[in-house]
C-alpha cells in the first residue's frame, strides 16, 4: 500500500468520525448504538493512523511484507492444529499400526515436491502485474509457496495472496500461477 493510498484511507476514516461527532452533537441523549458506532469508527481511524505512520517511517521494506507474514501465520496456525491433533494419537496406537504393517514406512507428507518453475519473462511479468513491481514481495511469496507441503495448503496461501493484492480470477497471470502451482504436486 502506498503512502498516498494510506493517507486517503486515513482522511476517509477521519471524516466518518467527524460526521458521527456532528450527529452526536445534535442529539441531546445519544443512544448506546450511536456511541458504539462512534467507538468502532474511532478504532478504524486509529488503525489508519498506525498504517500511515508506519508507511511514512518505512524506507526499505515493502508494507505488504508484514501482510505476507500475517498470511503465513494463518496458514501455519492450521498446520500447528493438525500437528497437535496428530500428537493426540497415543504411542500404543502408533506401535500397533507399525506392527501391523511390517517393512512399510509411511510418510505423511510428499517430500518430492518440486519448486515453482517460471521462465524469466513470466517472473518479471508476475512481479509487475501481480506484486506491484516488488521483487521482494514476489520472492517472499514464491519461497512461501515452495515451502508448502501439499496442494491444499499452497492453494489456501495463493487465495490469501489473491485477496491481499485484489487479483481477479480472470487475470492471465493469476490463472498461470495457479496452474504452475498445481503441476508441482
Q: Which of 20, 36, 57 is the last residue of a domain?
A: 57
pLDDT score for 102: 47
| pTM (two decimals) | 0.45
Number of structural domains found in the chain: 2
Looking at the structure, tell me whether residues 111 and 177 fall in a common domain: yes
List the domain range (segments joined by +) for residue 158: 64-183
Looking at the structure, tell me whether residues 149 and 75 fall in a common domain: yes
3-state secondary structure of 142: helix
pLDDT score for 27: 78
Looking at the structure, tell me whether residues 49 and 119 fall in a common domain: no
pLDDT score for 51: 80
Kindly give, in sequence order, each residue whose CB lies less than 8 Å from that of residue 116, ignoring residues fewer than 6 positions away. 142, 145, 146, 180, 181, 184
Encode 53-82: b = buried (16+ Cβ within 10 Å), e = exposed.
Answer: eebeeeeeebbbeebbeebbeeeeeeeeee
pLDDT 10s digits, 130-142: 988 888 888 888 8
Looking at the structure, tell me whether residues 102 and 138 fall in a common domain: yes
Looking at the structure, tell me whether residues 27 and 111 fall in a common domain: no
Looking at the structure, tell me whether residues 15 and 52 fall in a common domain: yes
Kindly give, in sequence order, each residue whose CB lies less than 8 Å from that of residue 169, ignoring residues fewer than 6 positions away. 175
Looking at the structure, tell me whether residues 24 and 85 fall in a common domain: no
Looking at the structure, tell me whether residues 50 and 71 fall in a common domain: no
Looking at the structure, tell me whether residues 29 and 82 fall in a common domain: no
pLDDT 10s digits, 11-20: 999 999 999 8
CB atoms within 10 A of CB 13: 20
Give the integer Cα–Cα distance in Å for 124 and 119: 9
Amino acid at each position: 500500500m502506498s503512502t498516498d493510498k494510506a493517507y486517503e484511507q486515513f482522511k476517509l476514516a477521519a471524516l466518518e468520525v467527524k460526521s458521527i461527532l456532528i450527529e452526536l452533537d445534535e442529539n441531546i441523549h445519544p443512544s448506546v448504538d450511536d456511541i458504539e458506532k462512534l467507538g468502532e469508527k474511532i478504532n478504524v481511524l486509529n488503525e489508519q493512523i498506525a498504517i500511515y505512520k508506519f508507511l511514512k517511517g518505512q524506507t526499505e521494506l515493502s508494507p505488504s511484507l508484514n501482510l505476507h507474514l500475517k498470511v503465513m501465520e494463518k496458514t501455519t496456525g492450521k498446520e500447528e492444529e493438525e500437528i497437535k491433533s496428530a500428537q493426540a494419537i497415543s504411542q500404543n496406537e502408533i506401535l500397533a499400526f507399525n506392527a501391523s504393517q511390517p517393512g512399510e514406512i509411511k510418510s505423511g507428507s510428499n517430500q518430492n515436491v518440486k519448486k515453482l518453475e517460471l521462465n524469466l519473462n513470466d517472473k518479471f511479468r508476475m512481479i509487475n502485474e501481480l506484486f506491484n513491481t516488488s521483487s521482494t514481495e514476489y520472492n517472499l511469496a514464491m519461497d512461501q509457496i515452495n515451502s508448502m507441503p501439499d496442494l491444499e495448503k499452497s492453494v489456501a496461501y495463493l487465495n490469501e495472496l489473491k485477496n491481499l493484492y485484489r487479483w481477479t480470477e480472470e487475470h492471465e497471470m493469476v490463472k498461470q500461477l495457479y496452474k504452475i502451482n498445481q503441476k508441482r504436486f
